[in-house]
A and B are shown apart, each in its own frame.
Chain A
Amino acid sequence: MLARANRKIEGFFYKRGVEIPEIRTLLRNQIYLTWTGIVIALIFGLTSWAFEFIVGALLGGLNFYALAKIIQQLIFVRRGAVVALLVSFYFRLLFTGVLLYAVIVFFKANIVALLSGLSVVIVNILIFGATLVGQKFKEA
């Protein structure tokens, strides 16, 4: 069942231009970790906490997805790659800032829940890094 879900999610990302398998794995794990966080929050009866966690995780996840998509192309651009990355970075930061402003000011979101959601990407990367420890790579 898990293998089928993995295939479905990875197929979804592959269709949207994420060609490197490791990046697809990272994006898939991001979804799983977000779900785990929501389930844990709901088990403890933290409904609003779960909502704010989702907002944070979605923001972090979308940023990560956009970054994953752009760097696949950037690495092959010979000129102007740094400018493209910086423009994309500042636009995403602006979008994230506006959304975070709305959530903090208008919806009075719980900051801890929001930061926990935003930290899902970091947790995902740390787990991915931990799985790589001890693996041997062939020198190219």
Chain B
Amino acid sequence: MRKALLTILNTIAFIALASVAFAGEAAPEVISMTSIATALGMALAAAGCGIGQGLGLKAACEGTARNPEASGKITVTMLIGLAMIESLAIYALVVNLILLFANPFLG
């Protein structure tokens, strides 16, 4: 019951906030909130991807230390994983740049 009530209240709060955001065309509050959102979004994306890449590299180094003959296969697998992680950061970057400089909701 409590969960359902919280979900409903949250939904109402989000809808109310969204209408305020859309009503104020390029209001200073909206711009400042967008700036904070993009900064937070990029920071989270970069930090998460950095940590993920570091962990992947650590595991690969350990695997190579245990079995040096498998280093070629480990490197290929690591490259694939790292490229996937990195592309997430690049997508986040594109979304944040759109929000900051080409936001369709700010006119």
Chain A residue, CB-CB nearest to B85? A89
Closest-CB distance, A79 to chain B (whole angstroms): 10
Contact check: which of B58, B67, B86, B93 meets A67 at CB < 8 Å? B86
Interface size bucket, B side? 35 or more
- A71: contacting residue among B70, B75, B89, CB under 8 A: B75
User: Do A115 and B94 contact each other (CB < 8 Å), given the known contacts A20-B72, A101-B101?
Assistant: yes
Residue contact A74 to B57, C-beta cutoff 8 Å: yes
Q: Report yes or no: B94 in contact with A111, Cβ–Cβ below 8 A.
A: yes
Q: Does B1 contact A (CB under 8 A)?
A: no
Decide if the interface of chain A is mainly helix, strand, loop or mixed. helix
Asked if A129 and B76 make an inter-chain contact with CB atoms under 8 angstroms apart, the answer reads no
Give bound CA distance, A121 to B67, whole Å. Answer: 29
Minimum distance in angstroms from A28 CB to a CB of chain B: 14
In the complex, the answer to whether A90 meets B102 with C-beta atoms within 8 Å is: no
User: Across the interface, do A122 and B84 meet the contact criterion of CB distance under 8 Å?
Assistant: yes
- Interface size of A by Cβ–Cβ distance < 8 Å? 42
Q: How far is the CA of A75 from the CA of B72 in the complex (A)?
A: 10
Residues of A within 8 A of B (CB): 20, 22-23, 26, 59-60, 63-64, 67-68, 71-72, 74-76, 81-82, 85-86, 89-90, 92-93, 96-97, 100-101, 104-105, 108, 111, 114-115, 118-119, 121-122, 125, 128-129, 137, 140
> Does A89 lie within 8 Å of B69, measured CB to CB?
no
CB proximity to A under 8 Å, residues B82-107: 82-84, 86-87, 89-91, 93-94, 97-98, 101-102
Known: A81-B57, A111-B94, A125-B84. 14 other contacts (CB 8 A): A20-B75, A23-B75, A60-B87, A68-B79, A75-B75, A76-B71, A93-B93, A108-B102, A115-B94, A118-B87, A118-B91, A122-B84, A122-B87, A125-B80
Contact A86 B54 (CB under 8 A): yes
Flag if B54 contacts A20 (CB, 8 Å).
Answer: no
Cα A85 to Cα B90 in complex, Å, equals 16
Query: Are the CB atoms of B75 and A82 closer together than 8 Å?
Result: no
Selecting from B3-11, B15-23, B24-32, B45-53, the interface stretch reads B45-53
Known contacts: A118-B87, A125-B83. The answer to whether A82 contacts B74 by CB under 8 A is no
- CB of B82 within 8 A of CB of A72, answer no
A111 engages B102 (CB within 8 Å):
yes
